[in-house]
Copies of this chain bind each other. A is one copy, B any other.
Amino acid sequence: MASEHDTDRRAARVSAPSTAAQARDTLRDAILRGEYLPGERLVEAQLCERLQASRFNVRAALQDLSAEGLVEVQRNRGAQVRKVSMAEAVEITEVRMVVEGLIAARAAERVAPEQATELDEIGVLMRRAVEAGEHRRYSDLNVRLHALVRSIAGHQTADRIVETLRGQLVRHQYMLSLLPGRPQTSLPQHERIIAAIRDRDPKAAEAAMRDHISSVIDALRSMDYLGPA
């Protein structure tokens, strides 16, 4: 049932995740993968079996994920996967917009020649993927681009916040990628971001990144009309 996935620092072992940190990572992965739906109750006893961890560690994991905004804990009522309303999703993305704008600006200030080359390469691959209609590939490249920009910027604080915010709306983002015509809209935006960073123009990079994420917000809002799943 579980296929190993990429995405993070260390692969989650399902064999013996006895410690608190392992339980937390495994549970986070499960939620992000959609194995628990928003609003679903997370009963401690069940999680103990699922994660092969003691209740103590399960509890710690839930508390951690609560701080990350992935689950919601109510006193004496247990935990449930946090439901993120459309309004909240917009708020979250607005914050992401300004913070990633900061990251882009800083990336433009610090980019090294090899990194600029790597950015351009991703840009080329993106265009090819869109022209070939390979949505999945384009989506992967999108993730890679944002990650590369963040690594160029080297801004730990901003990084952490963006990562947390991203986690809170994976579900919405997934739905977003299914919107028809999205790649045609976002490709030129991505190219502008790449160009601005490559040209070491912080202001242009920030503006390009904000424009890009701003259009993501518009897309989110349009989804709201189609149906607030």
Contacts and interface: CB of A to CB of B under 8 A. Distances in A.
Interface of A: 1-4, 60, 63-64, 66-69, 72-75, 88, 91-92, 94-95, 97-99, 101-102, 155-158, 161, 165
A158 to B, nearest CB: 5
Given A3-B75, A74-B4, A94 B157 contact: yes
A157 B99 CA distance: 13
B102 A94 contact: yes
Contact of A67 (B64, B94, B158): B64
Contact of A157 (B1, B3, B60, B91): B91
A157 B88 contact: yes
Nearest to A60: B63
Contacts of A157: 88, 91-92, 94-95, 165
B2 A73 contact: yes
Contact of A95 (B3, B74, B88, B161): B161
Closest A-B pairs by Cβ, 10 of them? A67-B67, A91-B157, A98-B98, A2-B73, A98-B102, A2-B66, A95-B157, A92-B157, A95-B158, A63-B63
16 contacts: A1-B67, A2-B72, A2-B73, A4-B74, A60-B63, A63-B67, A67-B68, A88-B156, A91-B155, A91-B157, A91-B158, A94-B102, A94-B158, A95-B102, A95-B158, A99-B99
